Amino acid sequence: MIGAPMTQPKPAAPFVFDPPSRVLLGPGPSDVPARVLSALARPTVGYLDASYTALLETLQQQLRDLFRADYAETLAVTGAGTAAMEAALYNVLEVGDTVVAGVHGYFGDRLRQVAERAGAQVHVVEAPWGEPTSPAAVKAKLASLGTAKVVCVPHGETSTGVCQPIPELAEAAHAHGALMVVDTVASLGGTEFDTAGWGVDVAYTGAQKCISAPPGLSPITFSPRAMEVVRQRKTPCASWYLDLLGNLTVWSTPHKYHHTGSINLVYAMHEALNIIAEEGLAARVDRTAHTARALWAGLEALGVPLSVEPAYRLPTLTAARVPDGVDEARVRAHLMSEYGVEIAGGLGPLAGKIWRIGLMGASCSRRNVMLLLTALEEALREQGQAVATGAGAAAASAVFGED
């Protein structure tokens, strides 16, 4: 018998957490495939185990394929997408540096806030929520400043469903000596993003959106131009934890200790990226686009207008206007209580005005679109909306039937 007898009363049987069945059609997390959950649950090994460091090397190459960049400095940050956002900005910025931030929603504004906490002078180029940042306005701002250290913007704005064109912004940034930093949390792996081809210097994403891995590990990549800035900085990165040069000692040979990585989340992301490789990144992007078109047709047929112009519409996250006279929270409650279907409401100025529907990774399927449209029709009718029977599903079905 090892150890003293129990001196505490035996506790009541502990609460076993048995998550309810959900269909995740919000802005993330998306549904995690069984294969990925199974990889997640494999036994934890040491962070310098030869098997694990070999896995890190495999994962690193998978991430380069995902970002479409052969940047040497590609890794995953041990934390949420916001940790990767901080890693992106904190490693290239020093106190007093100039930043131009394109803000057209909640996450562009978060980039602004993070840049300010890094001590930068941040110049905001604003666009209304629901529209992209204007490249002309960014160019004018850069011209007025002469030079800047960073231009930053989200590619997919999760709060509005806007997809921001990047190449023109990157060109403008480079013309003024600035690095182009892009948030792809809501887009990478679900819609086209070409890090190297578009001249993006720092891009990052999350695990739990279009990759469909469990949250907590966030891919990031740095161009050679960004690395020059990182290596020539005069003051250390404001965060020890997110310091890129420290993190890179884990991800380059010989692998060294910096902090304990999220070992099981690495297993899961590797398996999620295996799934992407099997499908093919281009095929996944096509599947997402096709599925989104079907959703959009279905929503419009239900009398639910889309918020964003077609040219800037993000396929992975659709913002839809709540019809007049409809209590949006009651609709979401109906979807959740009767079908276990999660969609989201609006943030900030769009709270109460829109729904946000994610079609990300494993959640992006014909099955889920047809279920959502059917359930949504029911919820709208419950609130007295006049909707032709089966109109949404029929419209989506027609799009799915197209080649």
Residue 24 is inside which H or E element, if any? strand 23-24
Tell me if 234 contacts its own copies by CB under 8 A. Answer: no
Part in contact with its own copies (CB under 8 A); list of ranges 132-140, 148-156, 270-278, 320-328? 270-278
Stretch that binds its own copies, among 125-133, 219-227, 287-295, 372-380 (CB under 8 A): 287-295
Q: Is 64 in the site for its own copies (CB under 8 A)?
A: no
Handedness of CA 151, 152, 153, 159 (dihedral sign): negative
Amino acid at 332: R
Question: Is residue 263 at the binding interface for its own copies, with CB under 8 A as the rule?
Answer: yes
Is 114 a residue that touches its own copies (CB under 8 A)? yes
CB of 34 to its own copies, least distance (A): 9
Which residues are paired to 202 by β-bridges? 181, 222
Of 192-200, 280-288, 311-319, 389-397, the window that binds its own copies (rule: CB under 8 A) is 280-288
Does 72 bind its own copies (CB under 8 A)? Our answer is: no
The nearest distance, CB 368 to its own copies, in angstroms, is 12
Question: Among the candidate windows 75-83, 161-169, 191-199, 320-328, which touches its own copies by CB under 8 A?
Answer: 75-83
Burial annotation 328-343 (CB, 10 A radius, 16+ → b, else e)? beebbebbbeebebbb
Give residues 312-371 in contact with its own copies (rule: CB under 8 A).
342, 366
70 binds its own copies (CB under 8 A): no
Residue of the chain from 66, 79, 181, 396 that contacts its own copies (CB under 8 A): 79
Element (H, E) at 197: none
* Residue 105 in contact with its own copies, rule: CB under 8 A: no
Report the candidate in 234, 286, 213 with the shortest Cα–Cα distance to residue 32: 213
* Min CB(403)–its own copies separation in Å: 7
Instruction: Kindly tell me which residue out of 60, 98, 205, 262 binds its own copies, with binding defined by CB under 8 A.
Output: 262
Cα separation, 310 vs 198, in Å, equals 21
Query: Residues 188, 229, 281, 299: which binds its own copies (CB under 8 A)?
Result: 281
Of 199 and 328, nearer to its own copies (C-beta) is: 328
CA–CA separation, 379 vs 362, rounded Å? 25
Q: How many residues in the shown chain lie near its own copies by CB under 8 A? A: 92
Contact 314, 156 (CB under 8 A): yes
Find the shortest distance in angstroms from Cβ 283 to its own copies.
5
Q: Which residue's CB is nearer to its own copies, number 8 or number 232?
A: 8
DSSP 205-272: --SSSTT---SS-EEEEE-HHHHHHHHT-SS--S-STT-HHHHHHHHSSSP--SS---HHHHHHHHHH
327, amino acid identity? D
Q: How far is the CB of 176 from its own copies (least distance, A)?
A: 26
Q: HSE on the CB side for 400, CA within 13 Å?
A: 16
**Of 280, 348, 352, 390, the one binding its own copies by CB under 8 A:** 280
Q: How far is the CB of 224 from its own copies (least distance, A)?
A: 26
Determine which residue in the list 70, 286, 338, 382 makes contact with its own copies, applying CB under 8 A. Answer: 286
Residue type for position 315: P
Q: State which of positions 134-193 bind its own copies (CB under 8 A).
A: none
Pairwise CA distance, residues 274 & 153, whole Å: 29
Nearer of residues 212 and 223 to its own copies, judged by Cβ: 212
Asked if 355 contacts 317 with a C-beta cutoff of 8 angstroms, the reply is: no
211 lines the binding site for its own copies (CB under 8 A): no
- Binding-site member from 174, 225, 233, 290 for its own copies (CB under 8 A): 290
- Asked if 347 and 331 touch (Cβ cutoff 8 Å), the reply is no
Among 160, 208, 221, 316, binds its own copies (CB under 8 A): 208
361-400 residues near its own copies, rule: CB under 8 A: 366, 400
Tokens, residue 253: 């040979």
- Six-digit token string for 35: 């294969």
Strand pairing report for 341-342 and 23-24? parallel
List % helix, strand, coil for the chain (3-state, nearest 5): 45, 15, 45
CA distance 188 to 32: 16
Q: Which of 86, 109, 157, 328 binds its own copies (CB under 8 A)?
A: 86
Kindly state the smallest distance separating residue 225's Cβ from its own copies, in Å.
Answer: 25
- Binding of its own copies at residue 24 (CB under 8 A)? yes
